[in-house]
Structure 1
């Protein structure tokens, strides 16, 4: 294994300036700090230390405001420039700093605003890679998304303006980025399919540290809590890295590939594996218990001391934090991804193209949507009373959370297999295997 550490000078600066900030999920709504809605004023969560390389267009100088040429005729006032209007309100967008919004992977943001009528493309971004399989994240007015798929020889990672789609910076990488990043304390943490895990500065995309495992394994989206990074991989291992210097603290063998991100809550890490088991591991690396789900396990979410796990055994199972089954429900096809969980409902898709809603308390089915003609193998998210999800038929669907009524659908040009959307500022942001990253608005 080869590790490239940050310089001692930068490391000490980071320790002093950022080491006390984390995504511990201890806020009242699942974030480290309370996140105001899209229309409010958001308190920055993990604001990086300002540098001399601040982009002038991010905050226009007072002189950029055009002066009216005729004070007696208000209509003669010059129109604002594109620079002045490039990021109105972007910093107040609902925050999705990690996969499915928080460390517990609710996939639910009660204060995010999304579109409910038919949508069009507000903007789109195309990268050098043929596919965008990674789930995006959104923090402090910036979208972060990786690119690349199984057909790509390389990958890239991008910071984008969520209003205009303008690229703030990009980082070319030697292999595809197929999972979401986690943004914490001014760094973006993610892995690539060649077994390299990165920490990039969110200011400019420069590498703070990287760890090369010397293999071709791929990583799940990580969760970052205090100084710990918890991430699964296709090498059948759950890893913990040190967030500030990239040191490997421990790894837990699961005897099956891990394709879904782990959950962190109350000092415990929960991860699903293809060996059929749900693993409960302490933050110090001690295995506490396992739960056999009867088939390859495809994802887990947590809410109110209950775990919700999906599997190829065609079951969705609710398990308490001691490892005992509370309820399980079976359908005709496998539940393929991490479910979304609200206070009352659990939403999960199946490989036959069905999206289900279940009662969170007893698992009874509330409704189902069969419109997708391809598998619903990507995780759904819930915002503003609507469930948003992509499908292998290439469409993005918006469904009323209470009733299952279809609000709209939008066709991309290829499958949406793994990418969950982010919803904020009245838009849905999602990638497709057609190589395009979309911003959809009414």
Structure 2
């Protein structure tokens, strides 16, 4: 079995193990939805389409625009207010990860392991990565950073594709084929290295600090998978993320110290703001943690087994998508249901993204729905 297939299989088996532990077998039926009288209003401001999303897409929201990508390698930038297409390009192949953008340059990775960088829709350069990538590249400071499934990090000059450095650290026998942590914090590159969060010098590729967010536990290598899942949440000097099936925690990225960590069995990224962090566990039981201390603010089991997406905070709501293409709007302070919105019926597995007054939701069918309140 190839390394890439083993990684994918490990991820799938880990999810199956978690669900079986919760249900004693196959996935239980979703919790019936309670009758709901809408307490807020939200409308679809505009719609667009891409050619489906069957890969771990991260939507980039920068400078009043969304940059998105589809299965067929199409990449496009859309005006966040109107949905107007600003530019469109193609990677020429199906994608395994994407998209990262600084508002001008955008980067994706193909299934063949090729990094493709665009300048306003025109392909600027291509580079083979030499391994599988499932995390969207990070474009920042005139550099493109790529995190491989093997946890290796590569840095390239955004202008000419020149490789600047490689950081390869010892890892575990199995790693997670899911979006990892790769983000910028002031003059530091934040990288997930298994269950640890590392602060890396973006100019040299050297590690400045290294902090454990989760503690792997289990009887075998699959159960001990605890890689950090991205994208992370930044709140001032704190950068917070989930450790796969292990914990949720926050690191002071200025000082390189753990702020707090709480055990938790979830598998998807968290969302949040300056007051709360939000996430679901493997059964879609929702929890809100106080961002400052990690104390539980509220929890809810009213959306169990609905295969929820990672959440987004939008105004006074926290919003989750589900496998039926429904958006669930909850009061961010209490967890009370506020509204349900429909899309095209395709599963929502991509974390909704907010730019200004607009929240963009992407379905696996390729539907793009921009909501406003």
- The alignment's TM-score, normalised by the length of structure 2, stands at 0.73
Task: Look up the SS of the partner of 1:181 in the other structure.
Answer: strand
Q: CA deviation at 1:124?
A: 3.0
Aligned length: 315
Distance 1:161 1:199 in 2: 20
Structure 1 regions of 5+ residues with no counterpart? 1-114, 149-153
In structure 1, the partner of 2:364 is: 433
1:277 is aligned to 2:200: no
Which of 128, 149, 157 is residue 212 of structure 1 equivalent to?
128
SS at the partner of 2:102?
strand
Q: Distance in 1 between matches of 2:295 and 2:130?
A: 46
1:213/1:141 Cα in 2 relative to 1: closer, same or farther (>3 Å)? Answer: same
Could you tell me whether the CA contact under 8 Å between 1:232 and 1:259 is conserved in 2?
Answer: no
5+ unaligned residues in a row in structure 2: which ranges? 1-37, 216-225
Shift of 1:364: 0.9
Q: Residue 136 of structure 1 contacts residue 430 of structure 1 at CA under 8 Å; is this kept in 2?
A: no
What is the aligned-residue RMSD (CA, Å)? Answer: 3.0
SS of 1:403 mapped into structure 2: coil
Separation in 2, partners of 1:223, 1:130:
19
Tell me, in whole angstroms, the C-alpha distance in 2 between the residues paired with 1:244 and 1:406: 47
Structure label with greater radius of gyration: 1
Supply the distance in 1 between the matched residues of 2:53 and 2:142 (Cα, whole angstroms): 34
Following superposition, the deviation at residue 163 of structure 1 comes to: 5.1
What is the correspondence of 1:389-408 to structure 2 with a 5 Å cutoff? 389-408=320-339
**8 Å CA contact retained: 2:322, 2:348:** yes
Shift of residue 207, structure 1, vs aligned partner: 1.0
Structure 1 position 316 matched with structure 2 position 213? no
CA distance in structure 1 between the partners assigned to 2:233 and 2:356 by the alignment: 25
Deviations, residues 170-213 of structure 1 (Å, cap 9, x unaligned): 323312264332124x32233333222222122xx111222222
Q: Give the Cα–Cα distance (whole angstroms) in 1 for the partners of residues 323 and 102 of structure 2.
A: 28
Q: Is the 8 A contact 1:263 1:269 kept in 2?
A: yes
- What displacement does 1:269 show? 1.9
Looking at structure 1, the residues matched to 306 and 180 of structure 2 have their Cα atoms a distance apart, in angstroms, of 17
Deviations 1:225-258 (A, max 9, x none): 3223223122421221112221111122242457
**Matching residue within 258, 266, 269 for 1:325:** 258
Report the Cα offset of residue 157 of structure 1.
1.1
- Tell me, yes or no, if structure 1 residue 158 matches structure 2 residue 73: no
Q: Say which structure is richer in strand.
A: 2
User: What is the TM-score when the length of structure 1 is the normalising length?
Assistant: 0.63
Partner of residue 226, structure 1: 141
- 2:52 aligned with 1:137: no
Deviations 1:10-53 (A, max 9, x none): xxxxxxxxxxxxxxxxxxxxxxxxxxxxxxxxxxxxxxxxxxxx
Structure 2 residue aligned with 1:25? none
User: CA 1:161–1:346 in structure 2 vs 1: closer, same or farther (change >3 Å)?
Assistant: closer
Deviation of residue 366 (structure 1)? 0.6
Sort the Cα spacing of 1:194 and 1:424 in 2 relative to 1 into closer, same or farther, 3 A: same
Structure 2 vs 1, CA of residues 387 and 376 (structure 1 numbering), >3 Å: closer, same or farther?
farther
Distance change (3 Å), C-alpha of 1:177 and 1:155: farther
Q: Match of 2:98, SS?
A: coil
* Per-residue deviation, 1:121: 4.2
